Structure 1
């Protein structure tokens, strides 16, 4: 059985070094408890919500580079702002994959940006044109059941699938646990 740790942390907006330390401590604890892989919330490196800080290209670049340097004993998906394309001005809300060999890779950029209620992500982020891929996980035993179930797509938005249907994505061979 593959164990995926969902790291529910309370990062501080703008404290990049502190947030990296928070993630590193949590993923180490999850690995000690038997997790095979860990996933953070979106924007854990910058803290949530970073709002106007995202308009500073240097801040976004630091978030991206610091997420690539996170030390993790197991494969880890980290939510972080990612630098903008040359043609566009706004950054992406993305995911970086890091593993114990310190290999890192951008594996996803959010497509559906909420613009309702208290959310105004379209103001701060650009939407990606294609789905996020978890192909970087294929070297890990997790890849075969997880990637097949999700079709190599990383889904990170409640609007993609209603919560009542999300249980269809977890057919018994994956245990989902929460680690603070």
Structure 2
């Protein structure tokens, strides 16, 4: 059995394991959020450390996302470098899932513009003809042109007198 795997706690919170992680400095807001989560929650919500078949964390470490619908499968390790990295990866996964959910529920739908100018192609327009310059008004609701005859001229049009 490898002695490094035995020396590492099952949660991955010692110096031998932490040397694989970089020092992370969080801004004031994120640091506050990290400290609050570390006190109130058992671990990161969306990520966990990869484990070997015997249940210990792998060396070199690898952070994986939890299976869909499964939250908090990793407890905080107690080591600041490892926990901050888990927190950052957790926040990244959380923000990505939030964006996907917002698109799925149509909260943030990008509005496509038909013309490169700054005119909006959505929303209420002021005036007597609110959608007078829209595509529908220009082409679909416009006056119909008389059909152009495509048949060859008939012999009756010619006069042989």
- TM-score interval for Structure 1 and Structure 2 normalised by the shorter chain: under 0.3
Between Structure 1 and Structure 2, the one with more strand by share is 1
**Higher Cα Rg, which structure:** 2
**What is the TM-score when the length of structure 2 is the normalising length?**
0.21
